[in-house]
Structure 1
Amino acid sequence: MYFMKTIKPLLLLVLGHFIMNAATAQSVAINTDGSAADATAILDVKSTSKGMLIPRMTTAQRTGIATPATGLLVFDTDTNAFWYYNGTGWTKLDMAGNNWSTTGNSGTTIGTNFIGTTDDIPFTVKVNNQVAGYVSSTVNPGRNNTSWGYLGLGQNTTGRKNVAIGSQALMANTTGQNNTALGYQALMSVTTGNGNTAFGSQALFYNLSAGNTAIGVQSLFTNTNGYNNVGVGISSMALSTSGSYNTGIGGNSLISLTTGVDNTGIGYGADVSSGALTNATAIGCTAIVDASNKVRIGNSAVTVIEGQVPFTTPSDGRFKYNIKEDVKGLDFILQLRPVTYQFDVQRFDASMKGDANNMAHPVNNVLQTSYNEAAAIRRTGFIAQEVEQAAIKTGYDFSGINKPKNAADHYSLSYESFVVPLVKAVQEQNKQIEELKKTITMQQKALEELTTRLEKLEQQ
């Protein structure tokens, strides 16, 4: 009783001291040496032989605290660790020294130490509070997505199985699936398109559709609605917007294509003369095809197209119909004027691009030599315009003339087509010869009869 009577005045004295300090907004010091509290601390606890205990509770008790204040600190007796509330959730204070240092770490163990998550929450890296790295597992959200680069896959919501490597790669993707982008701003604009592959800075930059493959800087750069295109090489098909099923392999291949479909360009600068061609094929360095449903092999500097076997044309009678024997022979052949000539191959290639001063490929010394050699060849053939007039004059619908489709197009001849009227001419000549032979035979017989009669007259 004496102890209780003695301690009560002391407790009242201490409580009064705290109340007065709080009332005067002074710092509070708890120590054994009587020193004043540090001016920057509201509470200064000092001891060389004792510690300080903060509230201890179970995990259930900790998580059961209603609306905890940011910075609230407790000791969890279930996890045997300190926890603090960061404003949105409880965070464990790792006192075992397992935090990764910003200046590097040593003594790590393969298979034990790692940066990442231990649950199915995606691992995220941020720069300027924006996504700069993202790896997810097979569960939602973001199944099997991987990105590395500032804003890469930054807008993704339910898109799956996407890979974005590079700053702003697949940046706008939201629900698109199975897209792969490698390079600065590769596939940057796609939102819902599926199955696209872009390797190279700004490859498929504006693409919104599906099934395209672009390899090379700005390959398929402006493609928006075109699908199932393949562009390989720097700026291959760079101006295509809505064309589909096109293939360009080589730097600047099919670079003039815009809306055309089913076109193929293989070789540096292999291109079409018009952006809307269909089923046109250009093969070879700077080969230019100028019409739909046409194949062009090589530029005009090419002097030989060689193959081990001849070209053939399907000629199965089961597929031919409306057959007529109206081929012109001698009448047509006799109208033709065989000539020898030289061809301005360099000017012709320039004209295919619509500008005689704008070559598709820089004319270096090697190419210029090839042009000179090709132009020096003395060629044998016909002039297409004259062949056209011969066909008109004889009423012959000759398939060997490829007429211009427009003012920028040119004439061309299929020399193999001349075989048919030549065969017809030979047949007509043979018929004439056979008739002449019959006439000669008859004349010989008549002459023999006349000779016999003369001989008899002489005998008489």
Structure 2
Amino acid sequence: MKLSLLLLLLVSSLRAVAQIGLGGTPNPNAVLDLKSPNKGLLIPRTSTTTRQTIPPVKGLMVYDTTQSSFWYHTGAVWREITDKWQTNGSVLFSNNWIGIQTNSPAYALDVGGSVRAQLNLRSDNDALIERDVHAKNNLYAYNRVGIGTLSPTQPLDVVGNARISENLQVNGNFGIVRSNSSTQLKMSLPSGNLILTLQPNVFFDVTFNMTTFTGTPRVSIAQVVSTGNTWHQIILTVHDVNTTTNTFKVRFYNAGNSTAVFDGTLNLMVVGQP
């Protein structure tokens, strides 16, 4: 009878330990259920020095009184449970804004120093990069980039001197030069191989094709590549520019007193409005 009673008490004790409830009926899914309207759970407290001497147990948790924070063990190292970044510099979280190296962040992320990022940047608004309006040089990106200007009017708008250390290539038959009246200019580079013999005071016209211009080209420059003859007696003049047929003529005039021979290549540069 005594043995039966002992076994009954032992089984009852095991069942009681399976679920423990303090302050009320335990939840059937909880091993330990603590309930209180005005009290909390106080877990073991220890200093940093003592915590580091505790044998490693995965899932072990303590409150570090030195750090004033909760710590848990991963089975390999202690990890702090924290609601903020760890920093050894100046980081401020205020009004949902984060300031790094600044105590008064004015934006969601305000960095008061250099930034290095190994990632792509994307903006769903117009501006991706913007410098303060009081800065000497300003960079804006509203599908346009302005350097030295707050209101770029072109995809790349530079106010001030610019330096390019490599070649500048312009495609699409567009020019790269404008006159002081903001009229865009472009170049046409016709060329031809010629053999001419001219008597004194005689001229001969040669027609060249050119790129389309909306107005009569204002500048024409010629380069003579000769094999050595009397071409230096010949005066070259560009005339009869026709923007309908996109042609112009070069007049070869022998201004000397003897026969002149031109045997070589004539390279021209014509500048006008596109």
More helix by percentage: 1
> TM-score when scaled to structure 2?
0.43
More strand by percentage: 2
> TM-score when scaled to structure 1?
0.29
